Every structure is written in structure tokens, then in C-alpha cells.
Chains A and B, each alone.
Chain A
Amino acid sequence: MILIKRVIFIVMMASVCAFLWLAQEQQNLDQGTTGAPAHAQAGHQAPDFSAETFSAEPFDLTDQLGQKGTVLYFWTSWCPYCQASSEAMEEAHQTFSDEVNIVGVNATMHDRQSEAESFISQNELTFKNILDEDGIISRNYYAPPVPATIFIDQHGMITYRKTGAISYPELESEIRSLVKEEE
């Protein structure tokens, strides 16, 4: 029993020492790198993409960043959760359009463009909406499931991700966090 206790204690101490050393190495690495790799989760750089809006204007995520944060909202026309969230998204756009960009991404590969266009007009969405015809953006951001809402700060870092319907208070809270960070 004493031997087992000693072995456990030695392994514990060795692990702590190894991780303290690794933390030091990490600090040196962080000083020499440009940031976290791109991945669609909080704490990582948002994967970059280019696409076209429904009105055939070119869209590039990088162009949106720099001055203010961006909220990416993945949706499809057949999804009732997206229907439930769209009103809140439009309200947030009306309230915070000076502070953040709200960009809808239609997962067109899982939808029909004509129905997506009807969805936009029925829900009176005035924020920018883009088409993801080949599904690359959706795949990189792990959507569907939809709706998926991704909050990106002005430096391109994802601060929060919500899968499922999002209410206005939640949108407001996360947008205010983004704006606070920018200040």
C-alpha cells in the first residue's frame, strides 16, 4: 500500500512539474505566434470565407471585421427554430447595426434558393444574407444543425456560439459583450 501511495504521489508531482514547464513553453510560443487556428468554436479564429449575397453582391468575412464585430446566423427556410429566431435577429439588426454586422448565411445546399428568398421577404429581414450554394461555409462552421449563431469580435475571434433558437435577450447580451470588448 505504501508503495502504491508513493508511486501515485511521484506521478502527481511529476505531472504538476511537467505542466508548469509546459505553461512556460506555452508563454514563449504565444509571444511568437499570430493566434489560435481557425475553427468554428469559441476561442478560435473564425474560418474565413467569400460568398455572394442574395442580391449578387460579393461578400468577404475579412472585410466585415476590423472596425466592429460580426454575428453570423446560419439558417434554412424549412427550419421552425430559424423562423422563431428571425424576429429577434431582425430586432437586433435594427438596434445594433452601428455596433455589429449581422449576416445571415442560408445553408443553400440544404435548402432551395426560391424558398430562402420567400423566407427573407416573409420575415422582412433587412440584414445582409448570403448564399452558401456549395455548402463549404456551412461545413466549416458545422451547420446544420440550424439555426447556429456565431459571435465574432473585430479581430476575427469567435467569442460565443449558440446552436438552436436564440432569443432577443441572449442576442442583446452577447452583442453588448462584443461591443464592450471593442471599447
Chain B
Amino acid sequence: MIQLMEKEDAATAADQRNEIVLDTRELNLWYGPEQALKNIALQMSEKQVTAIIGPSGCGKSTYIKSLNRMVEMNPLVRITGQVMFKKRNIFHKNYSVEELRTQVGMVFQKPNPFPKSIYENVAYGPRIHGIRKKKLLDEIVEKSLRDAALWDEVKDRLNENAYGLSGGQQQRLCIARTLSIEPEVILMDEPTSALDPISTLKIEELVQELKQDYTIVIVTHNMQQAARVSDQTAFFLNGEVVEFNDTVTLFSNPNDQRTEDYITGRFG
């Protein structure tokens, strides 16, 4: 009895240190007859950055898109297994996708601002979720843009069309848009692959800042980027997780031969 209690205490202590926000359990996914994800099991802890690396077609994008169920936009997709977000299975039929997506936000590969003003882009999310007061919207817009390190560049032209911004600024605007509804998790699907090196650096710095408040999952084909920004890294190959470890260990001392081959540039 005493032993059991001790065990429970230990477990709570561990939880407090590093609560698991996203827990993927035996996730399988098919596009029609083709299996894209095989038995994925990954845990993402609160306020940590998890990088997902792997060659093209390894399922990393499919995986990150299943975390906010965007993958279901493809009608051929079939899923088994579970993803527990704060201990609730996101695929459960009572879990509304809208509710999930307000808490698990996403930044896409190509910047995709709406063809509206900078202000309207950031205010869109809060508006559709019922926030109408102009003053509050103003505050949200400013805070989100500040947090996305874009405020100083755009504060004098909030009413101009977002498409007048540079690619890197557009991507930070999309990050601000995601932050505007205060999610817990931010998924980033190769957020810098369409950007120049300086814009990439800015986004990477931003990820470091955002880590203070958000749990981040970032898909990248750039291993240096994974090494720079993440706390833990998962290596995907052919729809499977080959190795999942803290980033320093995975890059300096990989367990699996395939991981070593990939990170040393022998394939991929």
C-alpha cells in the first residue's frame, strides 16, 4: 500500500515537471489502400519544441496534419489509433474539430494570409469565435503581432493588404493569426521552406521565444534547423518512427544506423 502511494507521488511529480500535452498511441493512417503512417507512438511535453525530420514522403507532414485533423480534408483518409490531447482522444466522435483546432493551431508550409488587411487577418480568428468589441480586438491584434515579432514593421500600415508584405513577414503574420486565439499547441509544417535565410532565422528565433508559452511541433527537412530549435526530435522513415529522443542525443549519438545515415547525409 505504501509502495503504491509512493509510486503515485512519483508519477505526479513527473507530471508537474513535464506534462505530456500530445500523446500519440499506435496511430495508423491510410490514403486509400496505401498506408502512410505505421504504429506511430510519440509524446510531446508542455512547452517543448519537438522537431520531426525525415526524407520526402516519409509521412512527417501527414503526421503533423493529423494532430489537428486537417488530414481529414482528404476524403480517402482512414485512421486507427489515438492521439490524446490533454488526455482526450482527438479522434473521438464527440470531440469537435473546431474545438480542437482552436487549441491546436497550425502554420503552413507556404504563407497563406487571407486576401484582407493585416489587421483583418489577425482579427479573423477572434471574430469567428465571437469576439466583437473593437477595443479587445485591437488589443489582440497588437499583442499577437508583437508576439510574432512583426508589430514594429507593420504598426503603421495595419489596414493595408497582407499581400503587400514580404514572404517572411507574411509567414510571421500567419503565426500572429495562429496566436490570436491563444492555442496551447502550435503545429508548424515546414514553416521556412519557402523563405530566404534571413527570414528563416527570424522564424527560428521566434520559435525560441514562443516556446516560453506554447508547445510546438515543427516539421522540417532541414536538419540544422531541427538541431537549432528543438528539444526533442523524431526521425521518420517510410511512415514509421525510427528514432525519437532528445535532440542533442539524437544528433550526437543516434541509436539506429538509419538515423545516423540520414543525419550524416548519406541519403535523403
| Chains A and B come from one and the same complex | no
